[in-house]
């Protein structure tokens, strides 16, 4: 089963003469261990597509399936549960909790999802080690470099073993060397865990790490 299927998805903001079509009949399938890069100019619909795939926005029309979840028909409680357990997010601004350590930023994701604490702690230690953060587990985000904070965000997104991870400009605030390291890390984690990922990026050199590159312009995928 594909990790993500979108079928004729439309997203319209407003109505009448003020209506803005952000997505216009988007159909997309992402394999269960595929790393897909989504590129396009600002305002083309990239972040809207990502938000709909992750259950943060509802489509105006069309179907959205993430693994076994047909999320376009979910109510608020079902969507909350879905976001906690079935999908991971890495936002452009990282959004770590500033007063929690690297370890605690991972553990809070597991706690929200109801994961047993001992199991969650073992999972957090494993991920932090894999991400090259051994010895820095107890540091607050302010004491980590930009690349290290991005790694913590990746670990948090993977904490509950989601089928799909969504990355919004993960290298935008990093130099080319650190950006390449982060993309190598994303690819290694996706392939090593059989997880699918969609990476929105303006950084075209980083698309070489993807299995496939899809372009979007004016709310439509370019084939």
Quote the pLDDT of residue 223: 66
How far is the C-alpha of 69 from the C-alpha of 82, rounded, in Å?
A: 8
Q: Is 2 exposed, middle or buried (0-12, 13-18, 19+ CB in 10 A)?
A: middle
Half-sphere exposure of 87 (CA within 13 A, CB side): 27
Give the predicted TM-score (pTM) of the model.
Answer: 0.88
Q: What are phi and psi of 103, to 5 degrees?
A: -60, -45
How far is the C-alpha of 72 from the C-alpha of 7, rounded, in Å?
A: 11
Is-contact 147 128, C-beta < 8 A? no
How far is the C-alpha of 158 from the C-alpha of 184, rounded, in Å?
A: 15
Return the closest-CA partner of residue 169 out of 98, 93, 56, 88.
93
Quote the pLDDT of residue 34: 95
Half-sphere exposure of 112 (CA within 13 A, CB side): 17
Is-contact 162 111, C-beta < 8 A? no
Output the tens digit of pLDDT for each of the chain's 223 residues.
799 999 999 999 988 778 899 999 999 999 988 999 999 998 899 999 999 999 999 999 999 999 999 999 999 999 999 998 899 998 877 789 999 999 999 999 998 888 889 999 999 999 999 888 999 999 999 999 888 998 899 899 988 888 899 999 888 777 888 888 888 888 988 888 888 999 999 888 889 999 999 999 999 998 6
**Tokens found for residue 24:** 């216009």
Is-contact 62 72, C-beta < 8 A? yes
SS3 125: helix
Residue 208 DSSP class: G
How far is the C-alpha of 52 from the C-alpha of 34, rounded, in Å?
A: 19
Q: What is the CATH number of domain 4-86+162-222?
A: 3.40.50.300
């Amino acid at each position: 089963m594909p990790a993500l299927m979108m079928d004729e998805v439309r997203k319209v903001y407003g109505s009448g003469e003020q209506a803005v079509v952000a997505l216009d009949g988007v159909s997309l399938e992402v394999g269960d261990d595929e790393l897909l890069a989504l590129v396009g100019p600002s305002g083309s619909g990239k972040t809207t597509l990502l938000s709909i795939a992750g259950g943060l926005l509802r489509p105006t029309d069309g179907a959205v399936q993430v693994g076994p979840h047909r999320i376009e028909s979910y109510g608020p409680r079902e969507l909350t549960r879905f976001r906690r357990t079935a999908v991971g997010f890495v936002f452009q601004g990282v959004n770590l909790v500033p007063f929690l350590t690297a370890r605690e930023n991972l553990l809070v994701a597991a706690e929200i999802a109801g994961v047993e604490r001992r199991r969650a702690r073992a999972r957090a230690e494993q991920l932090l080690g894999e991400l090259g953060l051994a010895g820095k587990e107890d540091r607050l985000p302010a004491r980590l470099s930009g690349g290290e904070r991005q790694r913590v965000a990746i670990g948090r997104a993977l904490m509950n073993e989601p089928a799909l991870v969504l990355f919004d400009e993960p290298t935008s605030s990093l130099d080319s060397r650190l950006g390449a390291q982060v993309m190598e890390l994303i690819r290694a984690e996706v392939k090593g865990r059989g997880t699918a990922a969609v990476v929105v990026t303006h950084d075209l050199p980083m698309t070489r790490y993807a299995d496939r590159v899809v372009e979007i312009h004016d709310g439509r995928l370019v084939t």
